[in-house]
A and B are shown apart, each in its own frame.
Chain A
Amino acid sequence: MLSPLGMSATPGAIVRRGGISRTVFVVSLVLVAAISGASGYFIQGILHPAPSAITLVGAGSSFVNPLITAINANYSKINANVQINYQSIGSGAGINALGQRTVDFGASDAPLTTSQTSSVSNALTIPDTIGAVVIAYNIPINSTYSIHKGLHLNVTVAAGIFQGDITTWNDPKIVALNQNSLPSGVSLPSSPITVVHRFDSSGTTFVFTGYLSNSTVWRGGQSKSPSSSAWAPGALASPGNAGVASTIQTVPDTIGYVELNYALSATPPMAYAYLWNPNGAGSYIEPTLSSSSLAATSLPSLPSGSGNWTSINLLNTSDPGAYPIVTFSFIMVYQELNVYGSTMSQTKAQALVNYLWFVVHEGQNQAKILSFVSLPSTVVANAEATVRSITYNGQTLHG
């Protein structure tokens, strides 16, 4: 009767019935039907350019997205009839999609959890790259000098900073680790430290809090999205690696954590900490592609592709030269591809296996270019065996 806006119908307005003639109505209906039918036909043609083309669909981790996208472009150059469509919807969502069989492979920064294994049965775990997390900071000393990379930290002091027990740069605990490494005449400022963490739920946070959990002082536990009470009071949150990096670079006296490939390729260059590795004589390790790769080299043995990877941990490995905050990134596929029913075929299964083989071989060269850590040969051998074990209707696909 009355619209909520209180504007009643204009007095005297004529209510027209049958304003559109029947002919016009029918003709326009027919037109709309014809146009939508025709466009549907043509758009379908665009989506499937040739009957022989195969489209593989993957989804998951946003961390590997730049690498996978580059690998996919290279792969399609060599194999023109195979298109790979990767959706970076997040690790958890990628594994869910694999469980619902809406994608051909999932990518995750963490091994399958127990609850995931029940929803994605008989899935194989294939390492595709290695990720490292660096502690980045912004410490202005004076107008001309700021500490570039190389602040020395260990896990206890890092945990103390990130949960707010250590509140200034010149705290004795930080000074004790750095007094021999700073240039003469330079001392750490007394300004208060502001912690920057991820706004969004993130695999990066999961790895980083996993590292902090190795310290007995850390109270926050390991989580993709810890409660704010885990972080120092007054901590800032920014979305994504890009958000955290730009907050650190624009707000003075901040400290946070970002992916290694992000820190290495950032402009202007980011300042990041060297972390204490107690193995051997003990040393502060600079985060680099090679020091991250060492973490995976030193693992005694890896499980098989169908095995349980939850215990595989690249944090604080035993190699004296390894950077301590390192993690695998994985691709998950079904071991027996006939679970997809009629949407899978022998040729598509073959294409998927060829693609995965490409990822763990040629794809690793692409990794270096993009500041991702390429897999060491021991891990590649493990991934090869896993790719070989993929079957379609019981037949292996890689000779």
Chain B
Amino acid sequence: MSRMEETPLDHAGVQSSRLQNFSYRLSHLSGDDMFEVLSNVFACTAVVIIALTGIVLVRGSIPVLGKFGLGFLTGSGWSTTFGQESYGMLPYVLGTLVTSGIAISIGIPVSLGIAIFLAEMAPTSVRVPLSQLVELLAAVPSVIYGFWGLLVLSPWIAKYVETPLTSSLGSIPIFHGSPHGLDFLMGGLILAIMIIPTVSSISKEVMIAVPTSQREAAYSIGATRWEVVRMGVLSYSRSGIFGAAILGLGRAVGETMAVTMVIGGALGSEAVPTSLFIPGQTLASLIAGQFKEAESLQLSALVGAGLVLFGLALLINVFAQFMVWKVLKVKAGAVE
């Protein structure tokens, strides 16, 4: 059955009756009307907050954008010395994309595995406590992940993953460096761990919502268990899973505290991600680390970094909406 049938008609009806009764309703304010007004006001706050944030970021970054123009986006300089200032955001944009990319490529498959197990395979006695445990992971504050990453995971990764990789595959540029465990890979890993609870619990809900008839249909044509999951469940819930992945990506792009603690904190051209095993920097960690003692043009550069991050997050969301829409359009009819 189509999901679109009921809504348009319904809305039109409500709207016309609204117009007819406007003056009557104005003099007889009901609880419904108050609720409607309040809801509208609260809905507007979302728009207002986005707009105000954008305005403040643009205003704050005018000095640095005026001085460097497009070079602020494409440059990789970092000099706070008065009179010789130079700020370029390219290394941090790349650093954000690289760490988020690592997070997505490790986090999504793991999350899907968790979700498939919970939704399709686990008996209820396992599913309920395990789902709650996964959701509990999402409630762990990011600074805790940062601490754990810094004190436990980072030395371990440096010793057992990075050092062997550098010594055996060091000639490949992305494995080059002298690993200490505070680098792009570590930043990406901690992000992967942090997005798993969000992505897996949403994917699980989406899979559970798939009608049983889908699975029955697949079984009835002789599908194996994996084929049922692939044909019946995964393809039906594709857009939902994609949405979950985008939520995860959104978190990875903006995540600050944990990344700041493990990314290594390089500045300037050294922060360009030429290897997984060199200290790096993301837009969010740059702002967190540098904001406290920043003044004049450096402060403006950090607000500019905020603007770039804001733009990057918006772009990802727009892209996600577009992809969801496209995926749905292709699949409409094919699935239902």
In contact, B264 and A200 (Cβ under 8 angstroms): no
Q: Is A314 an interface residue (CB 8 A)?
A: no
In contact, B1 and A237 (Cβ under 8 angstroms): no
Across-interface contacts of A116 in B (CB, < 8 A): 295
Across-interface contacts of A18 in B (CB, < 8 A): 30-32
Contact A25 to B243, CB < 8 A, known contacts A6-B328, A239-B260 = no
In contact, B31 and A25 (Cβ under 8 angstroms): yes
Q: Mark A307-318, 1 if CB is under 8 A from B, else 0.
A: 000000000000
In contact, A6 and B289 (Cβ under 8 angstroms): no
Q: Is A14 an interface residue (CB 8 A)?
A: no
Name B35's contact: one of A9, A20, A96 (CB within 8 Å).
A20
In contact, B267 and A226 (Cβ under 8 angstroms): yes
Cα distance, A59 to B242, chains bound together (Å):
46
Across-interface contacts of B264 in A (CB, < 8 A): 199, 236-237
Interface 9-mer from A84-92, A256-264, A279-287: A84-92
In contact, B289 and A200 (Cβ under 8 angstroms): yes
Cα distance, A225 to B4, chains bound together (Å):
56
Contact A227 to B79, CB < 8 A, known contacts A4-B321, A6-B206 = yes
- Interface residue count for B (Cβ, 8 Å)? 57
Q: Mark A1-21, 1 if CB is under 8 A from B, else 0.
A: 111111111010000011011
In contact, B80 and A225 (Cβ under 8 angstroms): yes
In contact, A227 and B279 (Cβ under 8 angstroms): no
Interface 9-mer from A216-224, A323-331, A332-340, A355-363: A216-224
Min CB–CB distance A134 → chain B (angstroms): 20
In contact, A90 and B292 (Cβ under 8 angstroms): yes
Q: Mark A51-81, 1 if CB is under 8 A from B, else 0.
A: 0000000000010000000000000000000
Cα distance, A332 to B296, chains bound together (Å):
18
In contact, B178 and A96 (Cβ under 8 angstroms): no
**Which chain A residues in 266-300 approach chain B with CB under 8 Å?**
none
The number of A-B residue pairs with CB atoms under 8 Å apart is: 148
Q: Is B253 an interface residue (CB 8 A)?
A: no
Q: Is A202 an interface residue (CB 8 A)?
A: yes
Cα distance, A223 to B294, chains bound together (Å):
11
Contact A228 to B266, CB < 8 A, known contacts A7-B240, A251-B180 = yes
Min CB–CB distance B334 → chain A (angstroms): 14
Min CB–CB distance B232 → chain A (angstroms): 15
Q: Is B202 an interface residue (CB 8 A)?
A: yes
List the B residue with the shortest CB-CB distance to A90. B292
In contact, B31 and A199 (Cβ under 8 angstroms): no
Q: Which 10 A-B pairs have CB atoms at the shortest separation, nearest pair first?
A: A227-B268, A237-B265, A228-B270, A90-B292, A22-B31, A199-B265, A8-B3, A92-B295, A201-B293, A6-B239
**B interface residue numbers (CB < 8 A to A):** 1, 3-4, 7, 30-32, 34-35, 77-82, 84, 177-178, 180, 182, 202, 205-206, 209, 237-240, 243-244, 246, 260-261, 264-271, 278-279, 289-296, 298-299, 320-321, 324, 328
Between-chain CB contacts (< 8 Å), 14 pairs:
A5-B243, A6-B237, A6-B328, A18-B30, A18-B32, A25-B34, A92-B292, A113-B295, A115-B82, A199-B265, A221-B79, A226-B267, A228-B270, A237-B279
Told that A1-B4, A237-B265 touch, could you supply 17 new A-B pairs with CB distance under 8 A? A1-B7, A2-B324, A2-B328, A3-B243, A21-B31, A90-B292, A93-B292, A95-B295, A113-B82, A199-B264, A199-B265, A200-B265, A202-B293, A221-B79, A222-B81, A228-B279, A234-B177
**A interface residue numbers (CB < 8 A to B):** 1-9, 11, 17-18, 20-22, 25-26, 62, 89-93, 95-96, 113, 115-116, 192, 194, 199-203, 221-229, 234-239, 251
